Amino acid sequence: MAKRKEKGHCSFCGRPEPETSILVSGIDSQICNFCIEQANLILKEEVSESFDIPKEQATLLKPIEIKSFLDKYVIGQENAKKVLSVAVYNHYKRIAQENDVNDVEIEKSNIILVGETGTGKTLLAQTISRMLHVPFAIADATVLTEAGYVGEDVESILTRLLQAADYNVAAAEKGIIFIDEIDKIARKSDNPSITRDVSGEGVQQALLKLLEGTAVNVAPQGGRKHPEQKMISVNTKNILFVAGGAFNGIDRLIASRLRTNVVGYSFSGLNDENIDRKHLLQYIAPSDLKKFGLIPEIVGRLPVLSYLEPLDKAALKRILTEPKNALTKQFEKLFGMDDIELKFDDDALDFIVDKSTEFKLGARGLRSLIETILVDAMFELPSKKRTKKLHVTREYAESKFGKASLAKLRAAV
């Protein structure tokens, strides 16, 4: 006759089996449902700790203080920083408001930044997320297609945010998503076509529900949805969306609206003396985005519109030296880890700025140029035994840059 198994007890709290709803057995121990629930609460608190916005920070950080923080990392772009600071401040005030049924409901203010490549669109969004301690994800709009077609579904944007939040849904629902290259999903043409625009207007239609705010079922590991896959519900109501794009050619649309020309003579009889033709982006309006190819619904759900000015040589040089994470400081620290003293001459910095301007690379090209100039030193100096110093002069920069292939440089940027 088989021996009857004795009733057990929880190895953590000591409760006997009759007092528990369930007792899960391990190799040498058992755990009851009460301890499982308690452990789950502890785990949620530990995971969410790093993403919670401190109450004092949410109440004390005013737009001027937000802009002051941005000034430490982003050179220039005063208008964009001011607009972004106000929009973010209002957004998190909206999240913090009490849920009163009779109270005025504040709508979300998503942001769209227009500017040439390398002017700091992504950097602005990254810096904001660093200050607020919220999950941040970057999505590239160029790979998005309608559901069922080759490419990524729009919901994959939320998968990236969930992963950045360590799958803490509550934290992800207060995060920031930066949609880069949004101009690449512009409507291809106003003319009807026998083929579907699955990577243009179709993606814009799919983005509408995310931007406005709705509960979306997201595949936790990304990829295509299938019936047996476990889904996570994410509400996008309190997620701040920041879209950015170069919108190449939109200056012509702005010039047309202002009845002026980008180059050449203006229309006769028109007074456009006050129009700065070199910086037409400052006059951008939502109507220009519609003409470029964004559908009116998308433009309406991105109500905060700002522009980024092209960076001149003075701004590029300041980017090299002034920000808290300036490129020269980064490379000095990188060399310092191998006990190598690195120093840049002022003339060498001027040479780097001149080349970035010549190739129209913007701030993004500065790192590629410095990497090209220092690659030989980074290869050889760590292996040398004697005291190591590197003084980068203009002559040194010119000689090292001359060896680099221009085609390779452009491909790296």
pLDDT tens, position by position, 7-65: 688 888 888 888 888 888 877 888 888 898 888 777 666 544 455 544 434 445 789 99
Mean of pLDDT over the chain: 80
Q: pLDDT digit string (tens) for 332-354? A: 999 999 889 999 999 999 999 99
Dihedral, CA of residue 174, residue 180, residue 183 and residue 186, to nearest 10: -60
Do 313-412 and 55-97+107-308 fall under one CATH topology? no
Mean pLDDT of 108-129: 85
For the chain, the helix, strand and coil percentages under 3-state DSSP, each to the nearest 5: 45, 15, 40
283 exposure class (CB count in 10 Å sphere: 0-12, 13-18, 19+): middle
| CATH 1.10.8.60, applies to 313-412 | yes
Question: CA-CA distance, 301 to 112, in Å (whole number)?
Answer: 10
269 has a pLDDT exceeding 80? no
Residue % of the chain over a pLDDT of 90: 16
Identify any residues that bridge with 305 across adjacent strands, giving them in sequence order: 112
**Number of other residues whose CB lies within 10 A of the CB of residue 378:** 15
The Cβ-side half-sphere exposure at 370, using a 13 Å CA radius, reads: 25
Task: Tell me the chain's radius of gyration from C-alpha atoms.
Answer: 27
Q: pLDDT digit string (tens) for 61-113? A: 789 999 999 998 888 889 999 998 998 888 878 777 755 556 777 778 899 99
Q: Give the pairing of strands 232-235 and 30-32.
A: unpaired
202 has a pLDDT exceeding 70? yes
Domains of the chain, residue spans? 17-48, 55-97+107-308, 313-412
- Provide the token pair at 155: 């919901």
- Torsional class of 235: left (φ above 0), alpha (ψ -120 to 50), beta (otherwise): beta
Q: Which numeric CATH code is attached to 55-97+107-308?
A: 3.40.50.300
Terminal Cα distance for the chain, rounded: 78
- Provide the token pair at 216: 């979306």
Predicted structure pTM score: 0.72
2 has a pLDDT exceeding 50? no
Q: Is the Cβ–Cβ distance between 17 and 8 less than 8 Å?
A: yes
Max CA separation in the chain (angstroms) = 111
